[in-house]
Amino acid sequence: MTEKTLYIDGGSLKIEDVVSVARYGRAAVLSPSARDKVKECREFVEKTIGEEKVIYGINTGFGKFANVKISPGDSDILQKNLILSHSSGTGEAFNKEEARAMMLLRANTLAGGFSGVRAEVIETLLFFLNHDIYPFIPSRGSVGASGDLAPLAHLALCLIGEGFVHYMGKRMKALEALSLAGRKPLELKAKEGISLINGTQAMSALGALAVFDSWNLLKTADIVSAMSLEALKGTDAAMDPLIHSARPHPGQVATSYNMRRILQESKIIESHKDCPMVQDPYSLRCIPQVHGAVKDSVNYVSGVLQIEINSATDNPLVFTGEKKIISGGNFHGSPVALSMDYLGISLTHLTNMAERRIDRLLSANLPELPLFLTKNGGINSGMMILQYTAAALASENKVLSHPASSDSIPTSAGQEDHVSMGQTAAIKAGAILKSAYTVFAIEAICAAQALEFLKPLTPGKGTLAAYKVIREAVAPLDNDRSFHPDIEKSFHLLKGKKFIEAVESEVGPLLLG
């Protein structure tokens, strides 16, 4: 990731930028052009307030209290009370990179110049980011209707010196952290509280991180499945470009290309070109069709998230050119909710197929491969239970892939009578993604062990590179041992850069559709 400072303007943020700030600590600042837009928007809001027009969330209550008029003298108290009352989340806290992603996305949407906040609000968010202060944000409590109200309220709570944060390796009160960092708490003015908590930045932050890691998983899946195909003496005929040109879904074409590149120069495949086997099972033969469909799904979800992270999602929105402040529903999380469910379902498909290949690797489907890939079966159980673990994770993913967005439950005394459940969908997608990585980590261990029994035949250029990287972390199995450390090592290896980079250095860049 580049260390160059990121300039945010509300319209040009990329998913890769979110990861560079959230995960790798890249600095972010407000662009000069965005500062001008924000200033113009704030001036228009203040002018409108002076005209004593009734504007939702500025001089009215919220939700079912929208018809309650608030006096000018109470407008600042209104915004602070909104943050305090809505900080009602529960459950385990979001981790550091998730909280940082939320702060960046909240700053970016405010930088678009549609929210009517002062530049000071955005700069306080960026101060937290750039000084490595991240808020304690409970992960449960959002229904994704007026946005992610509870989690974003906990985020905003810290800006005003309330709540808790993590700073200098410790959890402490936000006010203490601000004092140590040499900054005063933010004092909210009219419109600023609601602008901080109306929006989809919690679910979108989780979504952006999940999409980025899914891109990595898709390449990893192609590599690991190619290892299994070779270990099971499958054919590369099903990867023929003629087949995929007859059904040219972008992901399918890309996957078949990747498989051909990874498997090139395989002595294992060459050794059984004239064998009597006519067809491989679907978990080998249909890798391009299944992995390709998942690639297309992830690319669709990526497009939705790319729009969402650069959108104005609070309420009301301020349009200075048209001299209008309009109350609407851009905070509703349906676009993200549906996409996160789609992502979870897609990754579940990927996991299901990987588990089936693991089972085939362990089930003595070839004379060369002993049952459970152990030389001394009976006294040794070998890799028997690795399939159990993969099966448990694949089954759990099936449960988690039930769409959260198919549910709705009214809130705010029926005022908010349809909700998206977007944050639930995003949390589930993240859990499915982690399990998918673990299943592929198990498949990589099993495929590498199976390749041991095919020596001296050598795998393809890409699979050989992958095998060597796996062997740096996980030793071949001679006698029974606990596999938990091996699974953990393989998991972290696949989630990092080294595994894919080793293969791409041999065969060139792998495609994502």
Q: Kindly report the CATH number assigned to the domain that includes residue 16.
A: 1.10.275.10
pLDDT tens, residue by residue, 257-305: 999 999 999 999 999 887 777 789 999 999 999 999 999 999 999 999 9
> Up-side HSE of residue 199: CA atoms within 13 Å toward CB?
33
Is pLDDT above 80 for 385? yes
428-484 pLDDT, tens digit per residue, is 999 999 999 999 999 999 999 999 999 999 999 999 999 999 999 999 999 999 999
For residue 262, tell me if it sits in a domain.
yes
Q: Are residues 183 and 210 both part of a single domain?
A: no
State the Cα–Cα distance between residues 360 and 357, nearest whole angstrom. Answer: 5
Q: Are residues 195 and 218 in the same domain?
A: no
pLDDT of 50 reads 81
Q: What length does the chain have?
A: 513
* Cα 422 from Cα 152, distance rounded (Å): 14
68 token code pair: 């309650």
Closest CA to 450 of 358, 381, 376: 358
Do the beta carbons of residue 114 and residue 312 sit within 8 Å? yes
**Same structural domain, 140 and 245:** no
Burial 260-270 (b: 16+ CB within 10 A, else e): bbbbeebebbe
pLDDT reading at 94 higher than 90: yes
**Residues 80, 329: Cα–Cα separation, whole Å:** 22
What's 362's domain CATH number?
A: 1.20.200.10
Strand partners, 459: none
CB 77 within 8 A of CB 2: no
Task: Report if residue 512 sits inside a domain.
Answer: no
Do 305 and 390 sit in the same domain of this protein? yes
* Spatial separation of the C-alpha atoms in residues 225 and 222, rounded to whole Å: 5
Q: Which of 291, 271, 294 is nearest to 282 (CA)?
A: 291
Give yes or no for a contact between 375 and 316, defined as CB atoms under 8 angstroms apart: no
Residue at which a domain ends, from 173, 199, 225: 199
Residue 300 lies in a domain: yes
Q: Single out the residue in 165, 199, 233 at which a domain terminates.
A: 199
Q: Which of 177, 199, 221 finishes a domain? A: 199
Q: Mark whether 309 and 457 lie in a shared domain.
A: yes
Same domain, 321 and 462: yes
Q: How confident is the model at residue 2 (pLDDT cuts 50, 70, 90)?
A: very low
Same domain flag for 193 and 233: no
**433 contacts 347 by C-beta, under 8 angstroms:** yes
pLDDT tens sequence across 293-305: 999 999 999 999 9
* Residues 184 and 210 occupy one common structural domain: no
Domains in the chain: how many in total? Answer: 2
Identify the three-state secondary structure at position 467.
Answer: helix
Q: Is residue 513 part of a domain?
A: no
For residue 125, the one-letter residue type is: L
The verdict on residue 118 lying in a domain is: yes
So what's the pLDDT on residue 470? 98
Query: Do the domain assignments include residue 343?
Result: yes
Same structural domain, 262 and 170: no
Q: Is there a catalytic annotation at residue 167? A: no
Give me the sign of the Cα torsion angle 103, 406, 140, 400.
Answer: negative
Domain membership of residue 1 (yes or no) is no
Residue corresponding to tokens 């897609």: 346
Q: What is the mean pLDDT of residues 67-79?
A: 84
pLDDT band at 54 (very low <50, low <70, confident <90, very high): confident
Residues 320 and 241 in one domain: yes
pLDDT > 70? residue 83 = yes
DSSP letter (8 states) at residue 411: B
Do residues 217 and 127 both lie within one domain? no
Boundaries of domain holding 164: 6-199
Contact 236, 225 (CB under 8 A): no
Output the pLDDT for position 1: 42
Q: Are 361 and 439 in contact (CB under 8 A)?
A: no
Indicate the pLDDT class of residue 86, thresholds 50, 70 and 90.
very high
Q: Residues 7, 56, 257, 300: which is the catalytic one?
A: 56
How high does pLDDT run on average in the chain? 95
- Round to whole Å and give the CA distance between 19 and 10: 16
> What value does the CA radius of gyration of the chain take, rounded to a whole number of Å?
26
Q: 145 has which bridge partners?
A: 147
Per residue in 316-363, pLDDT (tens digit) is: 999 999 999 999 999 999 999 999 999 999 999 999 999 999 999 999
Contact 453, 368 (CB under 8 A): yes
Are 145 and 282 in the same domain?
no
Amino acid 146: pLDDT: 85
In a domain, 84, yes or no: yes
